[in-house]
C-alpha cells in the first residue's frame, strides 16, 4: 500500500501574507497574475453555485 505522505508536495507559488522583500518586480507581477486568475476561478465557481441554488429555491417555492 502506498502512503500519500511519500508523494512530493507541490510547491506553493504564493502564500498569503508571505514576505515580499526579496521578490523582483517581475516575480511580483507573476504572482499578481496568478492571484487574478485564482480570483476569476473562484468567482466563476461562486456564480455557478449561486445560480444552482437560485434554480433549486425557485423549484421549492413554486410548490
7-53 confidence digits (pLDDT tens): 877 777 888 899 999 999 999 999 999 999 999 999 999 999 888 77
Q: Could you give the 3-state DSSP secondary structure of residue 36?
A: helix
pLDDT at 3: 63
Distance CA 51, CA 24 (A): 41
Question: Between the CA atoms of 25, 31, 32 and 36, what dihedral angle is there, to the nearest 10 degrees?
Answer: 160
pTM of the predicted model, to two decimals? 0.63
* pLDDT given for residue 38 in this prediction: 95
Is residue 58 over pLDDT 90? no
Amino acid at each position: 500500500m502506498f502512503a500519500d505522505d511519500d508523494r512530493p508536495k507541490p510547491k506553493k507559488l504564493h502564500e498569503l501574507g508571505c514576505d515580499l522583500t526579496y521578490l523582483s518586480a517581475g516575480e511580483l507581477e507573476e504572482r499578481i497574475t496568478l492571484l487574478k486568475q485564482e480570483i476569476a476561478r473562484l468567482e466563476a465557481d461562486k456564480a455557478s453555485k449561486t445560480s444552482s441554488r437560485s434554480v433549486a429555491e425557485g423549484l421549492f417555492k413554486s410548490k
